[in-house]
Structure 1
Amino acid sequence: MSSKMQGYLFVLISMCIWGGFTIFSRLSAKWHIAAWDLTALRFALAFCILMPILIYKKDMAFLWKKESVILALIGGVAYCVTSYTAFTYAPAAHAAIFLNGCIPLCTALAAYFLFRQPFDRHTWLSLIIMMVSIAIMSYLLSQQSAHPFGLGDGLFFLSAIWWGVFTVLLRQSSLTAWQAMCSVAIWSALIYIPIYLLFLPKHLDQAAWSHIVIQSLFHGVLVVIVATLTYVEAIKRLGAFKTGSIVTLAPFIAAIIAVPLLHEPLSLAIVCGLIGIGIGALQPWRWFLYNKKTYS
C-alpha cells in the first residue's frame, strides 16, 4: 500500500471514530451514564493502558513539564466535562454546529488573543460564513420556539472554546503527538479521578454493564489513543489541510445518522446551520487552490 493510500486509510479511521464520538456521547445520556461517570471511565481506562507502557519504556520525564498539566486541564478535564454534559441537554445535530463547527472559529480566535496570530483571508471568509449561518439558523429557530437555544448549546460552544485554546497551546508546545496524548490522558486521570471519587455524584449503578464496557472501550481506547495516533499519521502522509478537511466531515455525517438511529429531528434551521458551518469549516474553495497548485 502506497503512503498516500495509507494516509486515506488513517484519515478514514479517524473520521469514523470522531463521528462515533457524537453518536456514543449522545447514547450515554440515553443509557443513563452521566457526564461525570463517562469522563471518569474515559480517563481511568486510558491511564491503565498508557501508564504501564511509559513505565516499561522509562519515558516519563515529559509528564513533569508545566505544559503537560495545562493541556490536560484544558483539553482533557474541562473539554470532556462540558462536552459530555452538553449531550445530556442537546441533540447530536447541535453538537455538529456549536461544537465541531465552531472549533475552527474558536481556534482562530484563540490564536489571535493568545499569540496575536493574524487572520488570513481564508479565515476571515470562514468566520463570516459561520457567523451568517448561525444568524440565519438563530432566526429560523426563533420562529419555531420561544427558547431556540438551551444549556446544551452553550456548553457545546464552551467546549469548542476549550478545544480551540487546547489546539493553539498544543501547536506552541514542545511535545510530540505521543507525549501530548499521554500527558492529557494521564494527568486528566490523576486530577479528575480523585475529585470524582470524593465529591461528584455517581450513577453507574443505573446503567447496564454492557453499556459501561462499550462506552469505556470507545472513549478510553478509540477516542483517546487510536484516533489521536491515526490523525497524526494521516497528517504526515496527506498534509494538515487535506486531513483536517476530510475529518471535519465526520460530525456532520453523525448528525444525519442520528436522525434514524437516535430518532432526533432535523429541522430546516438545523440543516441551514449544518450546511453553513460545514462550508465555513471545510473551506471548499481552498480545495480548488490546493489541486491547482498540485497539478500546475
Structure 2
Amino acid sequence: MTQDTLPLKGLAYALAAVAIWTGFILVSKAGSLASLALPDMMMVRFGTAFVLFSPFIWQHRAAILQWRMLVLGLIGGLAYALSVFNGFANAPATHAALLLPGLMPIMIAVFAYFVAGERHSRASWLGIFLSSLGIMALLIETFTSGSQYWLGDSSFVLACIFWGIFTVLLRRWKFAPWQATLGIIAVTFSLFAPVYVLFLPHHILDATWQMVGLQAFYQGVMATTIQMVCYGRAVHLIGATRMGSLMALVPVFASSLAVPLFNEAWSLGLTIALVSILLGTLIGNLPISRILYRISSTPYYYK
C-alpha cells in the first residue's frame, strides 16, 4: 500500500465511524425515552457484544489479559459508557450531537500533545479554538438559563475527557483495533454484569421487544464493535487529532435528525455551537495553507 492510499483508507474508516456514531446518538436517545435506564443500556450494549464475540475474546485472551488492556477497558469502556448514557438520560439528543463530537477533538488534541507527543499545525489549533467557542456558548447557555440539562451536559463533557484519554493511549500502546475492541467488551462486561445482576434495578421488560432488539443490535454490534474497529483503524492511519476533528461532522447529521425525531427545541446556543464546530472542522482538516499557495501561484490569463 502506497503512502498516498493510506490517508484515503483512513478517511474511509473515519467516515464510517462518523455515520455509526450519528446513529448511536439517535438510537441511544430513543432508548432512554423508552424506559430503558442507564444500567439497562449498559447491559444491553456490552452483554450483547460479549455473547456474540466471546469466541474471539477467548481466542485473543493473551492480548486481552494484560494491565494496559484493563486500563483501556476501564476508560474507553466502563467510564465512557456510564458517563455518556447518563448524559442521554438527562439532556436532549441535540446537546449530545454537539457536545460529544464537538468537544472530543479538544480533549484528544490536549492529551495527544502532552501524553503522545503529537504536534499540531496552526490550522488544527485554530479549528480547535473555533470549536471550543461553540462548545462554551452552549454550556454557558445551559448553566445560565436554569435548564435541567446541566447534569446531562456535564456527563457528556466527562465522557469526552475519558474518550480523549482512551484515544491517545490506544495510539501510544499500538493495540490492534480488533483486539482493543474485544478487550473493551470483555473488561466492561466482566466488571459491570455482576453489579447489574446483583444490585441494580432492571427495566428491560418495561420497553418493547422491538426497542430492546434495536438497542441490542446497534449498541452491541454497530456502536461497540464495528464503530470501534473503524475508529481504531482511522486513528492508526490518519492520527488521533485528525480523527477527533472529523468526528465533529457528526453534529450536522445527528442534530438535524434529532429535532424532528424527538421534537426537540432549537436555541441560539445550539446554533452558535453548530456553526463554530463546522468551521473548526473545515479549518482543522482541509489543507488551507496548500490551497492558498496553489491559488497564489496559479497564473491568471485574461481573454
The answer to whether structure 1 residue 33 and structure 2 residue 36 are counterparts is yes
From the superposition, tell whether residues 226 and 294 of structure 1 become closer, same or farther in structure 2 (CA, over 3 Å). Answer: farther
Q: Residue in 1 aligned with 2:24?
A: 21
CA drift at 1:52: 1.1
SS at match of 1:102: helix
In the superposition, the TM-score normalised over structure 2's length comes to 0.83
State the Cα deviation string for residues 139-169 of structure 1 (Å, max 9, x = none): 65678x3448510000000000010111111
- Measure, in 2, the Cα distance between the counterparts of 1:189 and 1:281: 34
CA drift at 1:264: 0.8
Q: Residue in 1 aligned with 2:164?
A: 164
Q: Specify the code of the residue in structure 1 equivalent to 2:39.
A: W
- Measure, in 1, the Cα distance between the counterparts of 2:148 and 2:124: 28
Kept in 2, the 8 Å contact 1:234–1:243? The answer is yes
In the superposition, the TM-score normalised over structure 1's length comes to 0.85
Kept in 2, the 8 Å contact 1:93–1:252? The answer is no
Q: Residue in 2 aligned with 1:78?
A: 79
From the superposition, tell whether residues 288 and 194 of structure 1 become closer, same or farther in structure 2 (CA, over 3 Å). Answer: same
From the superposition, tell whether residues 94 and 180 of structure 1 become closer, same or farther in structure 2 (CA, over 3 Å). Answer: same
CA drift at 1:266: 1.5
Kept in 1, the 8 Å contact 2:72–2:169? The answer is yes
Unaligned runs of 5+ in 1: none
From the superposition, tell whether residues 46 and 28 of structure 1 become closer, same or farther in structure 2 (CA, over 3 Å). Answer: same
CA drift at 1:137: 4.0
From the superposition, tell whether residues 108 and 156 of structure 1 become closer, same or farther in structure 2 (CA, over 3 Å). Answer: same
Q: Residue in 2 aligned with 1:215?
A: 215
Q: Specify the code of the residue in structure 1 equivalent to 2:48.
A: L
The CA RMSD over aligned residues, in Å, is 3.1
Unaligned runs of 5+ in 2: 298-303
Q: Residue in 2 aligned with 1:196?
A: 196
SS at match of 1:283: helix
CA drift at 1:118: 5.7
Q: Specify the code of the residue in structure 2 equivalent to 1:87.
A: F
Matches for 1:1-296 after TM superposition, within 5 Å:
10-55=13-58, 58-114=59-115, 120-137=121-138, 145-147=145-147, 150-232=150-232, 239-240=238-239, 246-284=246-284, 286-289=286-289
SS at match of 2:175: coil
From the superposition, tell whether residues 46 and 134 of structure 1 become closer, same or farther in structure 2 (CA, over 3 Å). Answer: closer
From the superposition, tell whether residues 294 and 231 of structure 1 become closer, same or farther in structure 2 (CA, over 3 Å). Answer: farther
From the superposition, tell whether residues 40 and 266 of structure 1 become closer, same or farther in structure 2 (CA, over 3 Å). Answer: same
SS at match of 1:265: coil
Kept in 1, the 8 Å contact 2:128–2:284? The answer is no
Q: Specify the code of the residue in structure 2 equivalent to 1:173.
A: W
- Measure, in 2, the Cα distance between the counterparts of 1:274 and 1:30: 24
Structure 1 window deviating more from structure 2 (227-236 vs 148-157): it is 227-236
Q: Specify the code of the residue in structure 2 equivalent to 1:256.
A: S
CA drift at 1:208: 1.2
- Measure, in 2, the Cα distance between the counterparts of 1:62 and 1:157: 31
- Measure, in 1, the Cα distance between the counterparts of 2:292 and 2:233: 25
Kept in 1, the 8 Å contact 2:99–2:135? The answer is no
From the superposition, tell whether residues 213 and 274 of structure 1 become closer, same or farther in structure 2 (CA, over 3 Å). Answer: same
- Measure, in 2, the Cα distance between the counterparts of 1:264 and 1:53: 41
% same residue: 31
- Measure, in 2, the Cα distance between the counterparts of 1:233 and 1:90: 31
Kept in 1, the 8 Å contact 2:98–2:255? The answer is no
Q: Specify the code of the residue in structure 2 equivalent to 1:70.
A: V
From the superposition, tell whether residues 284 and 116 of structure 1 become closer, same or farther in structure 2 (CA, over 3 Å). Answer: closer
SS at match of 1:279: helix
From the superposition, tell whether residues 247 and 142 of structure 1 become closer, same or farther in structure 2 (CA, over 3 Å). Answer: closer
CA drift at 1:220: 0.4
Q: Specify the code of the residue in structure 2 equivalent to 1:166.
A: F
- Measure, in 1, the Cα distance between the counterparts of 2:132 and 2:232: 30
